[in-house]
Structure 1
Amino acid sequence: MQGLLGNAEFWVAVAFFIFWGLMFYLGVPGKVLNQLDSRGKRIADELTEAKRLRQEAEKLLREFETKRAAAEREAADIVSAAKDEAERLASEAQEKMADFVKRRTASAEAKIAQAEAQASAEVRAAAIDAAIKASERVLRQEITGSTASSLVTQGLSDVRTKLQ
């Protein structure tokens, strides 16, 4: 036995078995396995959380893209409505301007017609007065006496009433 007890390899093997026996007695492998299991579980939980956050981010991205598309459509609708309103207002302004020009033209034509009628009446009155005066002179030169004077006065008053 001396040979075996003096052998270094034997003592290394004994120390090895004692070391492992002591480790199992103290429960070190179980603790190490528990720590590894808890660490593995924590990593798995973190991966699950990361996956959930990624899905949430993708969902938010889809929602924002949908909202952006809706906002772009709404902006296009607003621009289209504004363009239609501007065209309608321009058309109304053009119609009002045409109506204004038409009314002003009609008013000017009415004033011109009135001025023509007034000028015509004034010319007619002047012509009548001139004709009456000329007739009066002619008749006074040809007819003399009191009868002539009353006839001229009566005739002139008749001519004035009929011409006017």
Structure 2
Amino acid sequence: MPAFFEAEFWSLSNPEFWVGVGLVLFIAIVIWAKAPQLIAGKLDETAAKIQANLDEAARIRAEAEAMLASIRASREESERQSVAMLAAAKADAERLAVEAKIKLDDQIKRRAELAERKIAQAEAQATADVKAAAVDLAAALTEQVLVARLAAQGADPLVDAAIGEMAGKLQ
């Protein structure tokens, strides 16, 4: 049997009795001071703060998820735009390369034609110069031959004048 039911427990000289009385008085004072209600109020207040923090955290999380989705969509759109810009740049580069090749081919063709015309002009000039030199040489040789024949036959002033004029007319 427990000591609580024995007679010596209830004697005033028993220290366990006074500990029990002190405990009962302490519990009575705590109840009379409404400590359980204060503790319950503080616990409710703490629970309310925790719930408010949880609600705020859920709201912030929802905002963060929405922001993340927005950022992902923006990134995907940026990637699509960069791919499109890259494709457009490649197409422009190819188009410019083709145009540059056509212009270069045209320029080469024009310069080749110009060079051929200059060569043809130079050939024509050279031919004309050779013909003129041949005419001058032929005229000089003819003059020498005629002068030599006439000198052998005798000098005729009219023949000499005609020979002199002939050189001027052949040019």
Instruction: Provide TM-score, normalisation by structure 2.
Output: 0.69
Counterpart AA for 1:90: A
Between the two proteins, the alignment pairs up a number of residues equal to 151
Evaluate the alpha carbon distance shift between residue 131 and residue 28 of structure 1 in structure 2; reply closer, same or farther with a 3 A threshold: same
Q: Distance in 2 between matches of 1:70 and 1:139?
A: 101
Q: Distance in 2 between matches of 1:17 and 1:154?
A: 166
Q: CA deviation at 1:84?
A: 3.0
Q: Once the two structures are superposed, what CA deviation does each residue of 1:63-118 show, in whole Å capped at 9, x if it has no partner?
A: 21122113212322332233233223323432332133123212211221111111
Instruction: Provide TM-score, normalisation by structure 1.
Output: 0.71
Evaluate the alpha carbon distance shift between residue 47 and residue 138 of structure 1 in structure 2; reply closer, same or farther with a 3 A threshold: same
Shifted more, 44-53 versus 24-33: the winner is 24-33
Name the residue aligned to 2:41.
34
Residue 93 of structure 2 corresponds to residue 86 of structure 1: yes
Shifted more, 137-146 versus 113-122: the winner is 137-146
Q: CA deviation at 1:132?
A: 1.9
Residue 72 of structure 2 corresponds to residue 65 of structure 1: yes
Shifted more, 63-72 versus 110-119: the winner is 63-72
Name the residue aligned to 2:107.
100
* Equivalent residues in 2 for 1:5-154, closer than 5 Å: 23-140=30-147, 141=149, 144=154, 145-154=156-165
Counterpart AA for 1:153: G
- Structure 2: unaligned runs, 5 residues or longer: 11-20
- Structure 1: unaligned runs, 5 residues or longer: 1-5
> Which 4+ runs in 1 deviate beyond 6 A?
15-20
Q: Distance in 2 between matches of 1:85 and 1:18?
A: 95
Q: Distance in 1 between matches of 2:28 and 2:105?
A: 113
Evaluate the alpha carbon distance shift between residue 113 and residue 22 of structure 1 in structure 2; reply closer, same or farther with a 3 A threshold: same
CA RMSD of superposed structures (Å) = 3.2
Counterpart AA for 1:36: L
Q: Distance in 2 between matches of 1:78 and 1:31?
A: 68
